[in-house]
A and B are shown apart, each in its own frame.
Chain A
Amino acid sequence: MNGKIICGYRILGILGKGGQGTVYLAEHEVLHRKYALKYAYGAEREQLKQEADIMKELTDRRIPFLVDQIEEDNVSVLVMEYVEGVSLKEYLQNNVPLEEDEALELLHQITEIVAYLHQQKGIVAHRDLKPANFVMAKDGSLHLLDFGTALTGMESLHCRDLCGTPGYAAPEQMCGARSGTEADVYALGAVYAYLLTGIDPALPPFHPPVPEECTEKVSKESRRLLRKTLDPAPEMRLQDATCLLREIETVQKRKKHLPARMESMAYQTVLITDVILATVLVGLRYRERPLEYAEWVCGGITILLFFWYLLRSILGPGERFVITREWNVTYTAKEKWGL
């Protein structure tokens, strides 16, 4: 198809292939500007029309603008702005796991774009958020692509079709139940888990890493954020990206909290110091008393701390059996997930 001219656009190459058509890089014959052209044939044409309807309403610079929509006898074409840059997937392959601050900043940028969609009059749910659908432009800004599975309007937000990428798609999407903005929140949570752990949810076993798989450097706030976004029950999740954005900003502000490992070390230091102090004071009891009742206070604190630990170990979540996942390589010519 390279070199072929369609409706005044010369095809330069393939940018990507997906379930909703093929995207080509093309150059306008007169303007000599590059555009992304999405082609659809047969039943996919209706879907492309729906995509165009959504895209024409979106005016944010982080979403490629729709230039033209061409309808011919057997093919529909969308002409869109071409965003030159690196896909976030490629960028992350060499850089994950990220430091928590960096991951939060990146998640904030991504969530801002999604929040813009969720704040639209008709509420737009993207429903296929994943690193491969974000492009990092040369100036470092992120752009969201591929609105092939996006839906708008309150009724269509609860459409019951199977869509999304396994691992990033919410459980309700994968089983064909109703899915809306909460599914986007789940996907954002999966992206954040990927950023923090380096474990790609799109690989077997096709679900995002749980907060316990994060390293001990990750703060409690971030773990809590992961729990709020990755809850399997959509009604228990944060309901849209605007809520998530607020949560991220709160975490960024509060993140003076000690990382989990430092917190545990602080507990241990207090306990050991306390035990040593109590022993020394008990030893000194009959010779000299530096402080009256000090040994009772130390002993009391030791007992309290002991019981606190005991209670936490009984009531708290059990130790996770799997510490990390390694390798995770699959070579297959099969294209789609499942049968």
Chain B
Amino acid sequence: MLHECGGRSVNQDSITLQRMVTRKGTVSLALLCDGMGGMDRGEIASGYVAERIGIWFYDVLPKVLKGGYRAGAVSKALQRCLFRIHEDLREYGEERGMRCGTTFTLLLIVEKRWQLFHLGDSAAYRLGRCAKRITYPHTGKGGLVHCIGIGRYHKPQERRGRWNNTGSFLLTSDGLQHYLKEQDLYHALNRERIGNRAQAEKALQGLAKAAVRRGESDNMSAVYLRCGK
């Protein structure tokens, strides 16, 4: 996991990692939110989303999973929660006359299946034989067009799949995307190079340093997840 300020005084990104062992197997969650630098108090929006999703994970998700894993039910439950978070943030911003928004990239792993939800310009990559970006950026000419907390609520992009023992995932904030290509990410984080957590953290630090060398000044956050040993 990487959580670096970069050239800024405050890190507006928030990360939360949760895992619970249930009667039907292990459920893990990784969430990366990039509070927007252009907006006021981005860390409030990203931190609030991380907090609420943490609560959702322990309070709501077990009820959904109790009858067995159904991707549609999980998706509906999460979207209900996201909508409420969006409305809370929007009202909070409007009351104070400021814009309080964040991107949202969430990876949920239930036993051998994964589900990804994404909104904004952060990214999720699947690392197998190469690094492949599996999310698209919600950006337009004027920058970010969809996010949590500002404007109208938009349904997040959703992807599902099976979690095999050869792949891994990388969630990154936009700070790591401007100056690094997919090849750079694959080169640093392929399975042959990463044997344990310390090596993964070192590789992520290396990527952050490379981005700074190339001129990056934004906050940089990343979560690397891999299945198996």
**Residue positions of A touching B, CB distance < 8 A:** 203-206, 319, 321-334, 337-339
Contacts and interface: CB of A to CB of B under 8 A. Distances in A.
B48 interface: yes
Given A323-B20, A324-B20, 20 more contacts: A204-B18, A204-B54, A204-B55, A319-B23, A321-B23, A323-B22, A326-B21, A328-B54, A329-B16, A330-B50, A330-B54, A331-B3, A331-B14, A331-B15, A332-B14, A332-B16, A332-B51, A333-B10, A333-B47, A338-B48
Given A339-B48, A339-B89, A330 B20 contact: no
Max chain B C-beta neighbours (<10 A), residue from A325, A328, A330: A330
Contacts of A204: 16, 18, 50-51, 53-55, 57-58
Contacts of A206: 51, 54-55
B44 to A, nearest CB: 6
Interface of B: 1, 3, 10-24, 28, 43-44, 46-48, 50-51, 53-55, 57-59, 62, 65-66, 88-89, 92, 221
Nearest to A328: B18
A330 B19 contact: no
14 contacts: A204-B16, A204-B57, A205-B57, A323-B21, A323-B22, A323-B23, A324-B21, A329-B15, A330-B16, A330-B50, A331-B15, A333-B43, A334-B44, A334-B48
Contact of A321 (B14, B22, B47, B53): B22
Given A326-B21, A330-B51, A333-B12, A339 B43 contact: no
A324 B28 CA distance: 12
In the complex, the 7 A-B pairs of residues with the closest C-beta atoms, listed nearest first? A204-B54, A334-B47, A205-B58, A332-B14, A332-B47, A333-B43, A326-B19
Contacts of B10: 333
A333 B3 CA distance: 10
B54 A203 contact: yes
Given A203-B54, A325-B58, A339-B44, A330 B14 contact: yes
Contacts of B65: 321
B54 A325 contact: no
Contacts of A334: 14, 43-44, 46-48, 51
A327 B28 contact: yes
